[in-house]
Structure 1
Amino acid sequence: MKRRKIIMTGGGSAGHVTPNLALVPKLLELGYEVQYIGTKDGIESSIIKEARIKYHIISSGKLRRYFDIKNFTDPFRVIKGVFDAISIMRREKPNVVFSKGGFVSVPVVIAAHFCRIPAIAHESDMTPGLANRLAVPYCTKVCVTFPESINNIKGNKAVLTGTPIRKELLKGNKDIGLEICGFRNLSKPVLFVIGGSLGARVINETLRSCLDEILSNYNIIHICGKGNIDKNLDKKNGYVQFEYVSEELPHLMNAADLVISRAGANSIFELLALRKPNILIPLSKKSSRGDQILNAQSFKKNGYSLVIEEEQLNPKSLIKSIDELSENRKKYIKAMSESPVKNGVDNIIEVIEKYGKSL
């Protein structure tokens, strides 16, 4: 079998990195050599290096929707990043580039275009993010998760594939998860709270303001984000907190009976795959482009999720929603079990194979 090479990219948050890892086992099985392009200090650096994938560093600026003095200097970093990526492409000669989005992906996709290397992107959300909007003109095809997304990608480039789910996530062990947490009272159901890899301050604060009341009925696993551990709560019975989890995540997710989460597409499709009754708290339009609101509305419409808008989040609404979710958990599990949405790994690999073979 002739050895082929793929360079992957994506960064800024775990949601732009971990879906790439879901594709890696299948790519290796098909004979691909897998490499990755990211930034020096981005979250992708530690995640990819931990996975023992060859990692290349380029310069990249952050794409902001708000005023910042760095908006005047970062375009030059992006331009430098394009030349960095071109150098890597010419040296490594990949058959195909796969991008999961995030600001680091823009110079990589542009470089692939200039080097005449097919570039496949994946957009998880219903509408493309700023990075993918900038990258689409340079892409060969764009894999999308929601059927509604096809019309949002110009140039007849969209392919409906679904989102890739890591096999490891589906193989979690509930007993291992409970052992990691060390809960004393195992008769109480487990509430899993996650605000994304970067944490969610408003969710953290609201949960902790009514923690004792929730703990009277639930054990709580809280992924609170880097720097958000509250050491004063370390000895609180039935409550465990983590900044971020990686290898433990499948076990912790399997241990969960109910989940509270942001509404990033990767996260919610993982919840769907695991059939976990959930409350989604999408980022508000004040702090995002509104993509999570659209994602959450879609899941609510299909009966997969209960939704609390961030502006409506307070201790009272949170407790009320947890009780409602618990009472109707079988209804949500049934709706998710009947979902036609499948793991997108094979569909995405098919697109990569089609265009990767062309070189």
Structure 2
Amino acid sequence: MNKHILFTGGGSAGHVTVNTALIPHFEKEGWKVTYIGSEKGIEKEIITDQFPHIPYESISSGKLRRYFSWKNFTDPFRVMKGVMDALSVIRKTKPDIIFSKGGFVSVPVVMAAKMAKVPVAIHESDVTPGLANKLAVPFATKIFTTFPETVKSLPQDKSLCAGAIIREELFKGDTAEGKRLSGFYEEKPVLMIMGGSLGARKINEAVRGNLADLLTQFQIIHICGKGNIEEQYSQKGYKQYEFIKADLPHYLAMTDYVISRAGSNSIFEFLALKKPMLLIPLSREASRGDQILNANSFVGHGYAVKLEEEELTNESFMNKINKLKESQESILSSMKSGQKAYTIKDMYQELADMSK
């Protein structure tokens, strides 16, 4: 009889990408796959788009806020309803194991799994666990972390560092195809700028404010986010995109340097592909500070140069890019000697063993 895995995680694309990397391998090994997410979260859009054949089960989920909101009084009831919804799905589908990537929708699923005595694996991307994963930890059978330092803040007997789980298609990029798609045929190095799924206004402004200078040194791929293309800047050697989906591996293959936010999934992808990076993490005002910790860890390991958003000016931006170029050799050397992450096959084997 086929084994069955239930995936959960959502609220942001980062809480789904590891799941989408693992799902094809489980299907290839003959497993049945079900996904639990929220009715209106980004996870529903991603999963139903990429895997329309997989059953998608929606449950109620509250948001656990760190600030005052009247919804804080009703959300615990939503979470409780979510636990009952998830328990109903688990009893109906009878999974052998549940894999949770975090986000608020995963909390009721992990709680319900404990009640149903189904083993649960959690994967934590950031240096410090997010609130949802903190709440889920007591109910988990095993916790996999991306950063080695995260294990220190978790129960030692059930935590281990697996590194980032990287989508296999990213390694299949073709430099020549990237050049054909972009029309870049000069000898200059290629600089890719990524501001996250929504783009990053301040990074976009810094790029355009220094464009003339940058174009003397680089050919530039600028992924600037939905609605952020500004046609007046279009010129030879500077290509703007709202986002790049299927062709991203080809663009990355020809890229020499990356400027990015410091979301865990993205920066570990750049690390796996050996791309020296300048990280401009989301500020503490705009986040819980996890991207700053992620960036600090990468700087500490010699993988990146960092620029705090509060210090971002046209001048500081160019200074850091010059530092990135100067540090290229030492960054590549650190990347080559760094800790090896689990492959998709390694993670599959861990989860298959847990399910027995």
Q: Give yes or no for contact 1:101–1:132 (8 Å, CA) kept in 2.
A: yes
Q: Encode CA deviations 1:23-66: one digit per residue, 9 max, x unaligned.
A: 22332233211221122332222221222233222222223223
2:156 maps to 1:159: no
Q: Secondary structure at the match of 1:220?
A: strand
Partner of 1:210: 210
Superposed CA deviations along residues 165-186 of structure 1, whole A, max 9, x for unmatched, are 1110111112222233234x53
Comparing 273-282 and 289-298, the one that deviates more: 289-298
Partner residue, 2:100: 99
Q: Secondary structure at the match of 1:216?
A: helix
Aligned partners of 1:228 and 1:71: how far apart in 2? 34
SS at the partner of 1:156? helix
Structure 1 residues 79 and 157, CA gap change in structure 2 (3 angstroms): same
Structure 1 contact 143–348 (Cα < 8 Å) conserved: no
Distance 1:111 1:155, change over 3 A: farther
Match of 1:269 in 2: 268
Following superposition, the deviation at residue 231 of structure 1 comes to 4.5
Whole-Å Cα distance in 1 between the matches of residues 80 and 176 of structure 2?
50
* Residue aligning to 1:33: 32
String of CA shifts for 1:134-166, please: whole Å, max 9, x gaps.
111111111112221112113732122112111
Indicate how the Cα distance of structure 1 residues 224 and 74 shifts in structure 2: closer, same or farther if over 3 A, else same.
farther
Other structure's SS at 2:278 match: strand
Change (3 A) 1:41 1:239: farther
Question: 1:260 maps to what in 2?
Answer: 259
List aligned pairs for 1:1-359, cutoff 5 A.
Answer: 2-52=1-51, 53-154=54-155, 156-183=157-184, 185-233=185-233, 235-357=234-356
Change (3 A) 1:108 1:241: farther
- Give runs of ≥4 in structure 1 deviating > 6 Å: none
State the Cα distance separating 1:97 from its structure 2 match. Answer: 0.7
TM-score normalized with structure 2 length: 0.92
Secondary structure, counterpart of 1:128 in structure 2? coil
CA change 1:216–1:119 in 2 (3 A) is same
How far did residue 330 of structure 1 move?
A: 2.1
Is the contact made by 2:143 and 2:159 (CA closer than 8 Å) also made in structure 1? yes
- Count how many residue pairs are aligned between Structure 1 and Structure 2: 354
Contact 1:13 1:198 in 2 (8 A): no
- The answer to whether the 8 A contact 2:21-2:168 is kept is yes
Question: For each residue in 1:115-136, what CA deviation from the matched residue of structure 2 results, as whole angstroms up to 9, or x when unmatched?
Answer: 2211110011111111100111
Cα distance in 1 for residues equivalent to 2:224 and 2:249: 17
Amino acid aligned to 1:68: S
List alignment gaps of at least 5 residues for structure 1.
Answer: none
Report SS of the residue matched to 2:157: coil
| Partner-residue secondary structure (3-state), 2:258 | strand
Task: Note if contact 2:277-2:324 (Cα within 8 Å) is conserved in structure 1.
Answer: yes
